[in-house]
Structure 1
C-alpha cells in the first residue's frame, strides 16, 4: 500500500491542472486525491486490525 505524499501528488498535478482548469480545479483535484488516500489508508488500517485479531 503506497504511502500518500501530498507534495509528490501536488507537484505533478499542479502544472497540468493549472494550464487547463485554473486554481480552483487544481485545489479540488489535490483535495480529492487527499480524501481518496485517507480513505484507502483507513481501509487498509481496518483490514490490518481484522487480520491481526
Structure 2
C-alpha cells in the first residue's frame, strides 16, 4: 500500500488551468449588469428634486 503521509501538504491535487478571456468576459458582463441594475434603481431617487420642480 502507498503511504499518503509521505506527500507534502501543499501538493496540488489537480493542475491549474490558466483562465481564458471567456472567463473574464463573464465576470465583466456580470459586473456591467450589476452596474446597470443599480444605476436604474437609484438614478430616479437622485433626480427626484429636479423632477419635483
**TM-score, length basis structure 1:** 0.46
Name the structure with the higher helix share. 1
**Greater relative contact order (Cα 8 A, min sep 6): structure 1 or 2?**
1
**TM-score, length basis structure 2:** 0.46
